[in-house]
Amino acid sequence: MSPLPVADLLVEIGTEELPPSALAGLSEAFRDALLKQLDEARLAHGEAHAFASPRRLAVTIAALATAQPDEQVTRRGPAVKAAFDAEGAATKAALGFAQSCGVEVAALEREETPKGAWLCYRHQVSGEPAAALLPGLIEQALAALPIPKRMRWGDRSVEFVRPVHWVCVLLGEALVPGQVLGLAIDRLTRGHRFHHPEAISLAAPGDYLAALRAARVEPDLATRRRSIREQVEALAAEAGGAAMIDDAVLDEVTALCEWPVALLGRFEAGFLEVPPEVLIETMQANQKYFPVLDGAGRLLPCFITVSNIESREPEQVRAGNERVIRPRFADAKFFWEQDLKTPLAERVAALQGIVFQHQLGTLLEKTERVVALSAWIAGEIGADVDETHRAARLAKADLVTQMVGEFGSLQGVMGRYYAQSAGEPAVIAEALEQHYWPKHAGDRLPETDLARAIAIADRVDTLVGIFAIGQRPTGVKDPYGLRRAAIAVLRLLIETPLALDLRTLLERAAAGYPSSIDAAGCIDEVLQYSIDRLKRYYADAENDRSADADVIAAVLALGLTQPLDIDRRIHAVQGFRGRPEAAALAAANKRTRNLLRKAPTAELGERIDPNLLQDAAERALVSALEAMMERVRTLLEQQDYEAALSELAGLRQVLDDFFEQVMVMAEEPDLRANRLAILKRLETLFLGVADISLLQAS
Query: Where is 224: in which H helix or E strand?
Result: helix 221-238
On whether the CB atoms of residues 485 and 439 are closer than 8 A, the answer is no
- Of residues 502 and 82, which shows the higher confidence score? 502
Section 610-616 average pLDDT: 91
For 36-67, b/e burial (b = at least 16 CB within 10 A) is ebbeebebebeebebbbbbbbbbbbbeebbbb
Sign of CA dihedral 612, 615, 616, 618: negative
Report the share of the chain in percent with pLDDT over 70.
99
Residue type, 288: K
pLDDT at 697 over 80: no
| Residues 49 and 137 reside in one and the same domain | yes
Condensed to tens digits (0 to 9), the pLDDT of residues 209-250 reads 999 999 999 999 999 999 999 999 999 999 999 999 999 999
Query: How sure is the predictor about 628, in pLDDT bands with cuts at 50, 70 and 90?
Result: very high
Domain limits for position 528: 344-546
**Burial class of 277 by CB neighbour count within 10 A (0 to 12, 13 to 18, 19+):** middle
> What average pLDDT does range 258-273 have in this prediction?
97
301 membership: H or E segment, kind and range: strand 299-307
> Do both 55 and 186 map to the same domain?
yes
- The Cβ of residue 274 has, within 10 Å, a number of other Cβ atoms equal to 21
12 bridge partner residues? 58, 168
State how far the alpha carbon of 482 is from the alpha carbons of 463, 465, 648, in Å: 6, 11, 40
| 564 in any annotated domain | no
The chain-wide mean pLDDT, for the chain, equals 94
pLDDT score, position 71: 83
Instruction: Choose the final residue of a domain: 80, 102, 125.
Output: 125
Using the 8-state DSSP alphabet, how is residue 410 labeled? G
Shared domain for 491 and 428, answered yes or no, is yes
- Which pLDDT band holds residue 437 (cuts at 50, 70, 90)? very high
Say if strands 299-307 and 361-362 run parallel, antiparallel, or are unpaired. unpaired
pLDDT of 214: 97
pLDDT score for 48: 98
> In this structure, are 39 and 174 located in the same domain?
yes
Same domain for 157 and 64, yes or no, is: yes
Q: Tell me which DSSP letter residue 282 carries.
A: I
From CA 622, how far away is CA 371, in angstroms rounded? 54
In the chain, how many domains are there?
Answer: 5
Q: Give every CB contact of residue 535 below 8 A, 6+ residues apart in sequence.
A: 552, 556
- Tell whether 251 and 366 lie within a shared domain: no
How far is the C-alpha of 196 from the C-alpha of 216, rounded, in Å? 7
Tell me, what amino acid is at 188?
A: L
Query: Which amino acid makes up residue 594?
Result: N
pLDDT by residue (tens digit) across 269-294?
Answer: 999 999 999 999 999 999 999 999 99
Report the SS3 class of residue 433. helix
Q: Is 565 within a domain?
A: no
Mean pLDDT for 593-612 is: 83
| φ, ψ of residue 356 in degrees (nearest 5) | -75, -50
208 and 229 both lie in a single domain: no
Residues 440 and 519 placed together within one structural domain of the fold: yes
- d(CA 382, CA 450) in angstroms, rounded, equals 9
Separation CA 278–CA 3 (nearest Å): 64
- The interaxial angle of helices 616-637 and 652-661, nearest 10 deg, is 140
Residue 465 CA to its chain's centroid (Å): 26
Q: State the Cα–Cα distance between residues 513 and 369, nearest whole angstrom.
A: 7
The percentage of the chain sitting over the pLDDT mark of 90, rounded to a whole number, equals: 87
Candidate from 36-50, 70-84, 496-510, 522-536 with smallest mean pLDDT: 70-84
The pLDDT value recorded for residue 250 is 98
Tally Cβ neighbours within 10 Å of residue 180. 24
Rounded to whole angstroms, the Cα distance separating 316 from 263 reads 11
Q: Which sign, positive or negative, has the C-alpha torsion 178, 183, 184, 190?
A: negative
Residue 567 lies in a domain: no
Cα–Cα distance between 252 and 21 in angstroms, integer? 6
CA distances from 44 to 77, 134, 173 (A): 32, 13, 19
Per DSSP, the chain holds a count of helices (H) and strands (E) of 25, 18
Q: How far apart are CA 454 and CA 489, in angstroms?
A: 11
Q: How many CB atoms lie within 10 A of CB 310?
A: 14
300 shares a domain with 385: no
- What residues does 184 pair with on adjacent strands? 179
Strand ranges inside 21-161, DSSP E: 48-53, 56-65, 71-79, 109-113, 116-125
The domain boundary residue, chosen from 197, 214, 231: 214
Maximum CA extent, the chain: 111
Cβ–Cβ under 8 Å, residues 262 and 235: yes
Angle of CA points 565, 568, 570, to nearest 5° = 110
CB-based contact 506:523 (threshold 8 Å):
yes
**Radius of gyration in angstroms for the set of CA atoms belonging to the chain, rounded to a whole number:** 36
- Choose the final residue of a domain: 304, 339, 374: 339
Q: Round to whole Å and give the CA distance between 134 and 540.
A: 41
pLDDT of residue 601: 75
Sequence-ordered strand ranges (E) for 55-115: 56-65, 71-79, 109-113
Q: In whole angstroms, how far apart are CA 435 and each of 299, 388, 422?
A: 25, 11, 19
For 470, the 3-state DSSP assignment is coil
Check: CB of residue 294 under 8 Å from CB of residue 252. no
At 2 the pLDDT is 55
pTM for the whole structure: 0.85
One-letter-per-residue 3-state SS of 153-218 = CCCCCCCECCCEEEEEEEECCEECCCEECCEECECEEECCCCCCCCEEECCCHHHHHHHHHHCCCC
**575 located within any domain:** no
Query: Model confidence over 347-383: pLDDT tens digits?
Result: 999 999 999 999 999 999 999 999 999 999 999 999 9
Q: Which residues contact 356 (CB under 8 A, 6 or more apart)?
A: 362, 363, 365, 366
What is the pLDDT, as a whole number, of residue 451? 98
Tell whether 560 is covered by a domain.
Answer: no
Sequence-distant (6+) residues with CB within 8 A of 166 are 12, 14, 183, 186, 188, 189, 190, 199
Q: How far apart are CA 658 and CA 591, in angstroms?
A: 12
**In terms of domains, do 494 and 617 share one?**
no
Do 465 and 430 fall within a single domain?
yes
For residue 674, the domain's CATH number is 1.10.730.10
d(Cα 446, Cα 201) in Å, to the nearest integer?
A: 59
Q: Is there a single domain that holds both residue 649 and residue 679?
A: yes
Structural domain includes residue 568: no
Cβ contacts of residue 461 below 8 Å, gap of 6+?
366, 369, 370, 373, 509, 512
Give the Cα separation of 346 and 658 in Å (integer). Answer: 74
| Position 698 pLDDT exceeds 70 | no
How do beta strands 116-125 and 164-171 pair? unpaired
For residues 127 and 641, the model is more confident at 641
Q: Is residue 1 part of a domain?
A: no
Residue 552 lies in a domain: no
Residue among 441, 520, 443 at smallest CA distance from 483? 441
Res 125: pLDDT: 81
Taking each helix axis as running N to C, give the angle between helix 641-649 and helix 616-637, from 0 to 180 degrees, rounded to the nearest 10: 170
pLDDT of 466 above 70: yes
**Of residues 168, 253, 245, the one with CA closest to residue 218:** 253
